[in-house]
Amino acid sequence: MKKLTILIALLVVVGFSTNAFAGNSATASATATIVNPISIAKTADMNFGNVATDGTVGTVILAAAGTRTKTGGVTLPATVGTVTAATFTVTGVSGYTYAVTLPVAATVVSSGANNMNVDTWTSDAGGTITGGTVTLHVGATLNLVATQVAGVYVSATPFTVTVNYN
């Protein structure tokens, strides 16, 4: 009987020991969804239109909506010329949100050594892509010096607008 009790005790201990050290495992799958990259394409260049100065410093503020206002010694003649906010088409996955990165500054240069700076960039978008495309308008501020020389001014290099999914 003593041997049977010891044998039963050993079996119980071995049984518990086996269960205590038994390993468990589970499986999982790895999944990835590749979405179409976001893209941006220019559809219209920025144009501040016809601007005059009275010999003092001033600015032309071109809103993303395409309207313009003036400050300081700037005059906006009745013959406005072409006034256009820069326009881009953003294409991406409908329902995805995105962010817009605007330039810090740019310089527009005439055919000579004269120039003006463009800064304080604004846009009317950044948010959610609806239906796969969004129209993005970009405005900015054109800074004139008091002695701004007449002429056609064009940016020395194009400015860059960047879009990214959030």
Question: Does a structural domain hold residue 146?
Answer: yes
Q: How far apart are CA 139 and CA 48, in angstroms?
A: 9
For the chain, the domain total comes to 1
The pLDDT of residue 22 is: 80
Question: Does a structural domain hold residue 63?
Answer: yes
CATH code of residue 124: 2.60.40
pLDDT single digits (tens) 53-110: 988 999 999 999 999 999 999 999 999 999 999 999 999 999 999 999 999 877 787 7
Question: Does a structural domain hold residue 28?
Answer: no
Host domain of residue 145: 38-165
pLDDT single digits (tens) 19-42: 556 899 999 999 999 999 999 999
* Torsion angle, alpha carbons of 66, 69, 74, 77, to 10: 60
Q: Could you tell me if 133 and 88 are in contact, meaning their C-beta atoms sit under 8 angstroms apart?
A: no
